[in-house]
Structure 1
Amino acid sequence: MDVTISDYLPAHYVQAVRENLADRDPHDLDIQIEECLKYLLIMSERPGGFIPLTGPGDEVWHELILQTPDYAALCEALPGRRFIHHRSLSFREYTQMRSQEEIVDEFLGWIPEYVGRFGPFTAERAQYWSFCEFLMTARGITLDQINHIGALGSASSR
């Protein structure tokens, strides 16, 4: 399932985000917006958990939230049809509340959801997901292995 910005965000909403993040490369910003939308699509049907976006994706989410009527409409248009709240919690703070094993388990749960819905991660897109960053740097898992985990997990959930 390809997620395009225009599927969920009216042009004026995207323009507000682009104006507020005008210092970013337009191509990179479009990818950040798409990855944020993917996060919101998955999160709309999840009970909660850590926000697995890295800084640039999270900053896009902040910009989306600032346009409150549009953000509320976006949340209602997502599959879970519920408002998705934002809680400021750094990854460092989160890791102090959980064991590394719990974090790995939670992050591994995101992979089949992403790969099953949107296809394999690319290096260009994986950089906006903290679980990819964490698994690759802290656990030595390659992007190919992450995508393999995702393909196995999404196949077993069908």
Structure 2
Amino acid sequence: MKTAGIVMNVGVSGGMKASRDEIITQFEAHCKSRWPREFAKKLKRGFHRNDRVDSAEELYNKAIFFDFEDCYCSVYAFKEWHDEAVIRKHSAIIDCLVFDLDHVDPVIAFKEAKKLIIVLSKTIYTKNNNQIYGQKTSLRSGEASTTRRAR
């Protein structure tokens, strides 16, 4: 499981520093009050990961220790925590979809975002006689194919 999610750059909001309580409230809302989660920190020699956090306050404390720089929180919470990530990932609570569109080259990231918008806008579903009609578009080919599935 890729560690992503909250990229902790919430210390500044509209040119003003957010308070500790405001940041903790943001973390709590973003994480949907579901814990535990994995905390990770990008270091010069790679990632330090697999740190368990059980609350928004604990997440805040870890992030502030690293000055909110290159800190990450897992996208998903876990039903059961296990020290080995390979085992832990099987208990992830999948409650959202994540589209990771960043890239070193912003032009490429923008093109990928445009492709995603095209795919999502071409997928039009209409209910008619208990059937769903839509178009599927491959991100790679850009070609659309009509599909029909009975419900």
Give yes or no for TM over 0.5: no
Structure (1/2) with the larger strand percentage: 2
**TM-score normalized by the length of structure 2:** 0.26
- Tell me which of the two structures has the higher relative contact order, counting C-alpha pairs closer than 8 angstroms and 6 or more residues apart: 1
Please give the TM-score of this superposition, normalised by the length of structure 1: 0.25
